[in-house]
Structure 1
């Protein structure tokens, strides 16, 4: 089972980040957390590590309605929330890669029967957001 949906854009990194934020918002997701992996690596591991990873941002996306359903279905599922969306661009690359968690992983880890419906809806909304980003093709 693949654990991520992937879209590749020939868009500069900063522009791709803005496009991803807008696409997520259009599907009811807000960004609760933002982790700048490049800056963290630079601060903790040095500039060589930061350069090697390139531009790399993890957005913690949350659709409050779906998160509520997930947490009330299986309170422990919070350890897997929010849905991570990665925007990354390797040094010297001509493309920016966007990857979102496949919510079906929730159903692999939770035995609660109602989790499948929540995961299916989250998957539909995340795929819809990614599909608006361009013709790079959703994988």
Structure 2
């Protein structure tokens, strides 16, 4: 099992890909609670050039609540990260965590059911791009 879902999108700019990804996440009930600009951080902290790369911390309050009710330490695995990166001009890759892969170490069937539901929604997001 791969630990992520991914899709490459051609003929799109980086910022437009981020907007489309956020819109697709919203359609599936996710909000963005964190946004990390890796390119900017690498330049600032290490003075190195890096390609366009953002990490979006996506959260569905409904699913987060269910998960936290079933397992109080599950917050260590939240939010669901989605990356948007541009390694070559006009081609952007979007990838999202596969919660079923990340939850394999959690021995709690209630969590696995939530992870399965979240995984289906994140896969829909990626496939819709």
* Normalised-by-shorter TM-score class: over 0.9
Runs of 4 or more, structure 1, over 3 Å off, are none
TM-score (norm 1): 0.88
1:100 maps to 96
- Deviation, 1:39, is 0.5
Structure 2 CA distance for aligned equivalents of residues 104 and 29 of structure 1:
17
Q: Per residue, is there more strand in 1 or in 2? A: 2
Q: Tell me the alpha carbon deviations over residues 51-94 of structure 1, each in whole angstroms, 9 at most, x when there is no partner.
A: xx30000000000000011111111110010000000011x444
For these two proteins, the number of residue pairs brought into alignment is 128
Gaps in structure 1 of 5+ consecutive residues: 134-139
Structure 2 CA distance for aligned equivalents of residues 106 and 94 of structure 1:
31
Q: Does the Cα contact within 8 Å between 1:7 and 1:130 map onto a contact in 2?
A: yes
Structure 2 CA distance for aligned equivalents of residues 39 and 122 of structure 1:
30
Q: Does the Cα contact within 8 Å between 2:37 and 2:53 map onto a contact in 1?
A: yes
* Structure 2 counterpart of 1:117, from 95, 113, 120: 113
What is the Cα-based RMSD across aligned positions, in Å?
1.1
Q: Tell me the alpha carbon deviations over residues 25-56 of structure 1, each in whole angstroms, 9 at most, x when there is no partner.
A: 0000000000000000010011xx22xx3000
Structure 2 CA distance for aligned equivalents of residues 57 and 114 of structure 1:
31
1:81 maps to 78
- Deviation, 1:95, is 0.9
Q: Which stretch of structure 1 is more off in the superposition, 58-67 or 110-119?
A: 110-119
